[in-house]
Structure 1
Amino acid sequence: MFRTLLYFFMFVSGIAHSGQTMRLVSAGGSITEIIYTLDKQDLIVATDSTSLSPSAARNLPKLGYFRQLSVEGVLSFQPTHLIGAQATGPEELAEQLRAAGVSVTILGEQRNLGGLYDMIRDVAVLVDAQDKAQQLINAIDKKVAALKIQAHVLAPSTALFVMSTSERGLTVAGGNTVPQALFDDAGIVNAAANMQDYKVMDNESILRADPDLIFVASHNVYSEQARLALCQHPALKATKAGKNCNITTMESSSALGLSPRYPEALQAIIAKAALIEKQVD
């Protein structure tokens, strides 16, 4: 049955592609956001469910979670190209789409500012927006440089980024994560830096780290009441951050993934660190 569908979509795709401009499926919130920032959103015919920024992207047809896309679902939009973030899948997706005549590019993952620039350049080549990409990179670089100067005058502090909570403990951002890159640029010590990637941090380790600041992904805290409740978490309430409820919610897509809004995420972290410094004074 699948092979019959594949042959059908190959036939339709061949007709649709001849003489037409790019019809693009974007898989991954960062990819979609970059395409919009490069003013190439008119090429997009469908995205995955994580593509929610900018707000206009929410109105595009959604194909589901980018790690679990359906070949039939993608092909139903008669795309010429798919650009996906790392882990776009399932595993057989790319091969089957290529067999149907779709150009598939899965970009590698890096988790720092240099990685964002590489992603912007790679996407720009695919959508023919190299000049716009360089302008975007220059603008981001200028903003980040200015923010790092602001951060330089702040007293050193320690912070923890909480991605999610569960009965097992708090899943936090360790080394080789976007929050680690943001903390580095803000001159802040990551309390979980000795861990790699996103891992559960036990209560004792959090207490020993005793962070001054805690940032939490917005998808995990939906209200002010939930934020205040997190201050009473057994692993947090005895820390300096917990005692003063210095917990700040940050929008998940820009704080956990590479995004052209990197400067805005950095600015939010620096502003919170400056506020804490005033409280101490």
Structure 2
Amino acid sequence: MSGSYDRAMHSAPVQPNRRELTVSALSLLALAGLGPVAPALAQTPERIVVAGGVVTEVIYALGLQERIVGIDSTSQFPAEALKDKANVGYVRALSAEGVLSLKPTLIMLIDGAGPPDAVSLLTESGVRIARIGDGLTPEGVASKIAAIGTAIGAAAPAERLAEQTKARFEELANLRAGIAKKKRVLFLLSLQNGRALVGGRNSSADAIISLAGGINVADAIEGYKPMTDEAIAAAASEMVLMMRNSSAHNTTPDELFAMPSFSQTPAAKEKRLVHMDGLYLLGFGPRTPMAARDLMASIYPEAAIPPLKTAAAP
């Protein structure tokens, strides 16, 4: 989970990535004792290892991707990131050995990166670590962008990107203000053995539905939790939202609304199931205003929601 996106994905089964780095325990001990060679490393160009897809996205948006030597498996935008950079594993299951084998001068960790033992080893290595907070509000996204820029010595361009993102959120708010009657949306993370795992209040799914002008029908649940069949039927969702899975089967409208609990919802009448890219939808970075606008257009197709004019700004 790139922070917010990562937290959602953490609730679903995680598949190992074949490109993850592995280094022996002896290598870790050698890498952790970087004291004698630190001056030499300090003279080389900055080498950044990122754990958090949104952090990678912001650094690429700033045009400073050449500084990145390693990323985590949630760094899925832009697409070339996972192709061009070494992969240190899933953001919540990092390998300290893999991270340190890249000889980083800066390690950037989004909220929730782990496990704690690996983070402790990284801290003890003496490599500089920047911890990036993961906000789910327009203000939080702008602060996140600014913090990333400050950590990599690009405060001024990051502030410009933050201001552009704020302008897009403001335009989004104007579109949201034009919605006369809000519709009810259920975010469905996964179906496991017939059990629905949904996004409740204080989740990234809840935040993006709110930004898009919808009502999260699972707000009686905290975070990402299972929802009973009875609760799903009673929630009366008018649209179901899921993340698009590029590597596995995506639940189809026919499959979903054939289930007894979903067949009783208003969404079943027109089989209103929408899939969106996970990081785009739940990453809460520079693209979030556009993602919320696209979601708004899906929730309210009759309103002909226009694209954000500010999205074209350089």
TM-score norm. by structure 2 comes to 0.81
Is residue 33 of structure 2 the alignment partner of residue 10 of structure 1?
yes
Cα offset for 1:141?
A: 1.9
2:259 alignment partner, one of 223, 233, 248: 233
Identity %: 27
> Matches of 1:81 and 1:144 in 2, distance apart?
31
* 64-73 vs 86-95, which moves further: 86-95
Which runs of structure 2 are paired with 1:65-80 in the superposition (5 Å)?
65-80=90-105
CA RMSD of aligned residues (A): 2.4
Q: Count residues with an aligned counterpart.
A: 278
* 1:103 counterpart residue number: 128
* 1:137 counterpart residue number: 162
Show CA shifts across 1:213-249 (max 9, x none): 1111113995677343223232212111122111100
* 1:214 counterpart residue number: 240
Cα offset for 1:8?
A: 4.8
Is residue 148 of structure 2 the alignment partner of residue 120 of structure 1?
no
Show CA shifts across 1:11-61 (max 9, x none): 485265131221100011111111111222111001111111111212111
> Residues 58 and 145 of structure 2 are in contact (CA less than 8 Å); yes or no, is this contact kept in structure 1?
yes
Where 2:261 maps in the other structure, the secondary structure is: coil
Cα offset for 1:178?
A: 2.0
Q: Higher helix fraction: Structure 1 or Structure 2? A: 1
2:80 alignment partner, one of 49, 56, 63: 56
> Residues 54 and 285 of structure 2 are in contact (CA less than 8 Å); yes or no, is this contact kept in structure 1?
yes
Could you tell me which runs of 5 or more consecutive residues in structure 1 were left unpaired when the two chains were aligned: none
> Residues 174 and 180 of structure 1 are in contact (CA less than 8 Å); yes or no, is this contact kept in structure 2?
yes
* 2:108 counterpart residue number: 83
Where 2:260 maps in the other structure, the secondary structure is: coil
> Matches of 1:72 and 1:66 in 2, distance apart?
14
Which runs of structure 2 are paired with 1:200-211 in the superposition (5 Å)?
200-211=226-237
Could you tell me which runs of 5 or more consecutive residues in structure 2 were left unpaired when the two chains were aligned: 1-23, 305-314
* 1:167 counterpart residue number: 193
* 2:291 counterpart residue number: 265
Matched AA of 1:100:
S
Where 2:197 maps in the other structure, the secondary structure is: strand
TM-score norm. by structure 1 comes to 0.89
